Amino acid sequence: MHYHKMRKYLYLFSSLFLIACEEKVKPIITINSDLKHPVSCMKLDPLSGDKALLGSLKKLYPFHEDCNFILTLETSRDIVCNSTNNMMNKSMGKFPKSYIKLELREGIKLQYSYYRDLYSNVDEDDLKEGFERVKKDLLKPIEQ
């Protein structure tokens, strides 16, 4: 009887450990309901984001200088938060180390946003994954 009880607890704690160690955080996607799909072109904001990542982004899509839709890349690495409000998250090891944000604007109006916290510093693979989602959401017709 003791054996079965211990086995249940071991299974429960193992499951919780595996859930707690999940490395991927789902992205937060925001799409303006007025946006017409698919978007025909995008222009890359050359002043946004990490220069190396911008170079990688240019290899993933033929950006057009004369397009009204402007894509910006924003990243942050080695995030440090000294707030006591986040002490529990930091002690559990679940405080993000970086983030990636891709935003598409038409003029100043935000049309689309992709945001994801990361538990390691943002790299080219994170950029590729994020931009694949942008392409899926914006460049192909949405099926109804």
Tell me whether residue 4 is in a domain: no
Residue 114: predicted pLDDT: 97
pLDDT at residue 19 in the model:
43
Tell me the pLDDT tens digit for each residue of 47-73: 887 888 999 999 999 999 999 999 999
Asked if residue 61 belongs to a domain, the reply is: yes
1 within a domain of the structure (yes/no): no
Domain total of the chain: 1
Contact 42, 67 (CB under 8 A): yes
Q: Give the pLDDT of residue 4.
A: 57
Kind and range of the H or E run holding 110: strand 109-118
- Cα 126 to chain centroid, rounded: 7
Q: What is the pLDDT of residue 83?
A: 47
Residue 17: predicted pLDDT:
47
What are the CA-CA distances from residue 112 to residues 61, 91, 98, 99, 102 (Å)? 17, 34, 20, 17, 8
**Residue 119 belongs to some domain of the structure:** yes
Task: Give SS3 for 94.
Answer: coil
Phi, psi dihedrals of residue 71, rounded to the nearest 5°: -95, 130
Domain holding 110, by residue range, is 24-138
Residue 115 domain-assigned?
Answer: yes
Identify the pLDDT of residue 50. 81
In the chain, count H helices and then E strands: 4, 5
Q: Pick out the chain residues at pLDDT < 50.
A: 12, 15-21, 83, 142, 144
Note the pLDDT of residue 128: 96
